[in-house]
Chains A and B, each alone.
Chain A
Amino acid sequence: MIFLPIWKRSSSIKTIAILIIAGAECLFGQTSIVTNSIPSLNDSWPTYNGDYSGRRYSTLTQINKSNVKSLKLAWAYQTHAATLKSTPLEMHGIVYFTVPDRVWALDAKTGQQIWEFRRTSEGDHTGQRGVAFYSDRIYFGTPDAHLLCLDARNGKKLWDVKIADTNLGYYLSIAPLIVKGFVVVGTSDDIIAVRHFIEALDWKTGKVVWRTSTLAEPGTPAAKTWPNNRAMNHGGGSAWITGTYDPDLNLIYWGTGNPHPVLAGAGRAGDNLYTCSILALNAATGAIVWSFQTSPHDTHDWDSVETPVLFNAKFNGRPRKLLAQASRNGYFFVLDRQTGEHLLTSPYVPTNWAKGVDYKGSPIPNPAKEPQPDGLLLRGAQGGGTNWMSPSFDPETGLFYVNARKGYSLWHLDADAKSPPEDNHGGGSIALFTTSILLALDYRTGEIRWQRESGLGLGYPGILTTAGHLLFTGDISGNLLALDPSNGHVLWHTRPGGMLNSAPMTYQLNGTQYILTGIDGVLYAWSLSGSL
């Protein structure tokens, strides 16, 4: 199945896609160990993850292992704004990217600004991951939990709909996902005990088509994983990272966040479905077709929102439609994405919050490792084994790449079973020691095939892999890197003067392939030929 781009001109793009996929396989004279039936990325980068699969693997090969040493700066754009956390899109020669309250459209060849959209808002400005593009429109979530529709030509606002009440703490940091004319978003926040949800809106009008709560509905079997409806209805489950989609199965895959109160679990005994879970949703109705919980009864803020990456490959000798996630709780999961059947649970960083794995493949939380009023020393980095930074899967190497964190942390509980916590966090954690590391995981076993120390501390660099046998990312020491994805060897590096806190992306325009990297508040474009 070839990726059908969701904008106009689909027939011509489809043709190009076929040629590029065929070309990639011929060029390197080797057969992918993973089939290419998942949509591949081509000249453009039309969605947050590039395509629906979440692999962040591009078939472009102009920049490749043999010439990446010659990579030069093509252009840079200074936003004078906050840290760039969005993955830019590239469509029709225009790059679109964001920070909270702001969207820019740039000439993809020169970095020249075409338009900027600004809307000052109340609400949480923690981050903005990017926009969605559909039918010449741009879709943009705001800190006060509105979804805006802009004219992609000039940035003019076409409509503005309220998704949720910002006074209750809701906000949108997500890059929307477009599925069959629906604009799909999920809500963010942990400040106040509320229900979170995933919602699909009509692309033309912004009217709600379906809304799926990430918490169980009263009276359903899943509701029995909560002690009562009150706890459940205040139970969290934010859905703040863009999901993935399988057009053949018509299923949307979306990760959910932690339950509320965040660290105080005494008032919500049970597994607390569907928090810290991977959900498979019927794209037409939003109905939950299956779910898999990565952290039952979470008390460490182990959001399971990290990208559920889709690829087709053999597992135990049998071709499968797979879904893989390196989850914030430090475990790597592989599922059959058609059925939700669990195939692999394997820790990718040392951690001791769980005492084993249950028959369903979910780690079993160890009550002795929950936050304590006098402090609990935990093996594992304070913010989790990874976070929102995008992973990548390279079908050529069959490796899953994730920027991970190892360390120790100290966890304090504010409340006990007798009294509810005084706030929605219910405690807090202190990072004692954190070190970052880039891991290449074998999807079949979860084993680390190679690793590269990234530096002391933490950051949020995402990952891009390409058919040019390249892996682009940044480290915690201030380097921008192109690595050999088969062994982690450095092929190109530079010091861009700041940190990569988003994922690199790539596109090809007028015969030139570009790599884009957001460094602090500056967007840099790299190519083999440099400036026009």
Chain B
Amino acid sequence: MIVLRKFVKLCIPLCLGAQFLAVDVIAQTPPLKKENLQKGKIEFQQNCAECHGNEAMGGAGPNLLESPLVRHDNSGDLIAPVIREGRGGKGMPAFPLMSQADILDIAGFLHARIEANNNVKSSTFMREHTLKQFLTGNAEAGRQYFYGKGRCNTCHSPTGDLAGIASRYSPMRLEARFLYPPHNNIMAIVFLPSGKQIKGKLLHLDAFYVAILNEDGWYRSWSLQQVKVEVKDPLTEHLELLGKYKNKDVHDIFAYLETLK
């Protein structure tokens, strides 16, 4: 319940923020009319709903009603760059040709959805489940899995990177994140014909070319006919564990992580 109280506290400033944002929108641009919201809904459903859900409450992609970026957006100033440039590492495609008017309509729709969601206890699953619903596992068994079978402690520490993790995420997000956290930090080593090796963050790899962000911050790309590539995904162990967990393990580990407040 502590988490819930914190969630509510967190919501209050965010809700207020959303309302202020709405006022800002009205101050800076013509007031959002029903037709703008309707157009925004159509644009959203056509372009975004496949991943973010018809009502923007998530699916393969994140719930945008929970998104800090969306909640802090002012007249599309934060949303527009994400739509236009995409988020390659997270699977969000770019829509470079979308007009500013369409983006504003989408932003208007999202802000209206947030307002509606804040005011009405709507009935979808993304409305937070209570912690009690999730606490079905055994924390001690989870701890043993963490240090034993799972070998989680080889990369993570309850007093280091995981300290306070249960306070940072809602129960549902915490469960999904420990299973397979969203990330975009796959590393690659590119072996040039000269024998030189270049390391960097992997930006693209398909059957034809590789692109990395070099350690000096520059983008580099090569045809795969010219180079060889070695990929290092820090989440390889997470992926392997997905194939090994029994459902009881999932709930035990969750119960253990929930003790890390």
| A414 close to B54 (CB less than 8 A) | no
B33-54, CB under 8 A of A: which get 1 and which 0? 0000010011101110110001
In the complex, how many angstroms separate the beta carbon of B233 from the nearest chain A beta carbon? Answer: 10
| B206 close to A475 (CB less than 8 A) | yes
B41 proximity list for chain A (CB < 8 A): 125
**A477-B206 contact, Cβ under 8 Å, with A82-B43, A124-B54, A126-B46:** yes
Contact of B204 among A375, A377, A379, A477 (CB under 8 A): A477
| B45 close to A458 (CB less than 8 A) | no
| A122 close to B242 (CB less than 8 A) | no
Verify if A491 is at the interface (C-beta below 8 Å from B): no
Contact of B242 among A383, A433, A458, A475 (CB under 8 A): A433
**Number of A-B contacts defined by CB within 8 Å:** 120
| B123 close to A422 (CB less than 8 A) | yes
Stretch among A29-37, A272-280, A424-432 lining the B interface: A424-432
| A433 close to B180 (CB less than 8 A) | yes
Verify if B159 is at the interface (C-beta below 8 Å from A): no
In the complex, how many angstroms separate the beta carbon of B234 from the nearest chain A beta carbon? Answer: 14
Which of B133, B204, B251 has the most chain A CB atoms inside 10 A of its CB?
Answer: B133
B208 proximity list for chain A (CB < 8 A): 479, 493
In the complex, how many angstroms separate the beta carbon of A97 from the nearest chain B beta carbon? Answer: 15
In the complex, how many angstroms separate the beta carbon of A498 from the nearest chain B beta carbon? Answer: 8
| A83 close to B176 (CB less than 8 A) | no
| B207 close to A410 (CB less than 8 A) | no
In the complex, how many angstroms separate the beta carbon of B130 from the nearest chain A beta carbon? Answer: 9
A429 proximity list for chain B (CB < 8 A): 59
| B242 close to A99 (CB less than 8 A) | no
In the complex, how many angstroms separate the beta carbon of A127 from the nearest chain B beta carbon? Answer: 8
Verify if B164 is at the interface (C-beta below 8 Å from A): no
In the complex, how many angstroms separate the beta carbon of A23 from the nearest chain B beta carbon? Answer: 33
Verify if B58 is at the interface (C-beta below 8 Å from A): yes
A366-398, CB under 8 A of B: which get 1 and which 0? 001000111111010011000000000000000
A383 proximity list for chain B (CB < 8 A): 60
**A83-B242 contact, Cβ under 8 Å, with A374-B133, A412-B129, A432-B180:** no
A375 proximity list for chain B (CB < 8 A): 134, 172, 175, 250-251, 254
* Tally of contact residues, B, Cβ under 8 A: 48
A483-502, CB under 8 A of B: which get 1 and which 0? 00000001001000011000
In the complex, how many angstroms separate the beta carbon of A370 from the nearest chain B beta carbon? Answer: 11
Alpha-carbon distance between A80 and B47 when the two chains are bound, in angstroms:
12
Alpha-carbon distance between A499 and B51 when the two chains are bound, in angstroms:
15
| A410 close to B123 (CB less than 8 A) | no
Which of B42, B123, B137 has the most chain A CB atoms inside 10 A of its CB?
Answer: B42
Verify if B97 is at the interface (C-beta below 8 Å from A): yes
Alpha-carbon distance between A211 and B60 when the two chains are bound, in angstroms:
35
Contact of A125 among B42, B57, B59, B172 (CB under 8 A): B42
**A432-B242 contact, Cβ under 8 Å, with A124-B54, A126-B54, A414-B125:** yes
- Interface positions, chain B 173-199, Cβ under 8 Å from A, are 175-176, 179-180
**A99-B180 contact, Cβ under 8 Å, with A382-B60, A428-B58, A428-B125:** no
| B38 close to A122 (CB less than 8 A) | yes
| B172 close to A412 (CB less than 8 A) | yes
| A408 close to B242 (CB less than 8 A) | yes
Alpha-carbon distance between A520 and B97 when the two chains are bound, in angstroms:
10
| B54 close to A99 (CB less than 8 A) | no
Which residue of chain A has its CB nearest to the CB of B235? Answer: A433
| A126 close to B45 (CB less than 8 A) | yes
**A521-B207 contact, Cβ under 8 Å, with A410-B176, A428-B124:** no
**A410-B179 contact, Cβ under 8 Å, with A126-B49, A368-B247, A433-B242:** yes
| A382 close to B54 (CB less than 8 A) | no
In the complex, how many angstroms separate the beta carbon of B171 from the nearest chain A beta carbon? Answer: 9
Verify if A455 is at the interface (C-beta below 8 Å from B): yes
B97 proximity list for chain A (CB < 8 A): 80, 520-521
A456 proximity list for chain B (CB < 8 A): 91
Which residue of chain A has its CB nearest to the CB of B99? Answer: A80
Verify if B126 is at the interface (C-beta below 8 Å from A): yes
| A457 close to B91 (CB less than 8 A) | yes
Alpha-carbon distance between A407 and B133 when the two chains are bound, in angstroms:
25
In the complex, how many angstroms separate the beta carbon of B166 from the nearest chain A beta carbon? Answer: 15
Alpha-carbon distance between A314 and B14 when the two chains are bound, in angstroms:
64
- Interface positions, chain B 61-88, Cβ under 8 Å from A, are none
| B124 close to A423 (CB less than 8 A) | yes
A80 proximity list for chain B (CB < 8 A): 97, 99
- Interface positions, chain A 410-468, Cβ under 8 Å from B, are 410, 412, 414, 421-423, 425-434, 452-453, 455-458, 460
| B60 close to A82 (CB less than 8 A) | no
Verify if B259 is at the interface (C-beta below 8 Å from A): no
Give 13 pairs: A residue, B residue, CB < 8 Å, sorted on A: A82-B47, A122-B38, A374-B135, A377-B179, A377-B247, A408-B242, A408-B243, A412-B172, A433-B242, A455-B206, A479-B207, A520-B95, A521-B97
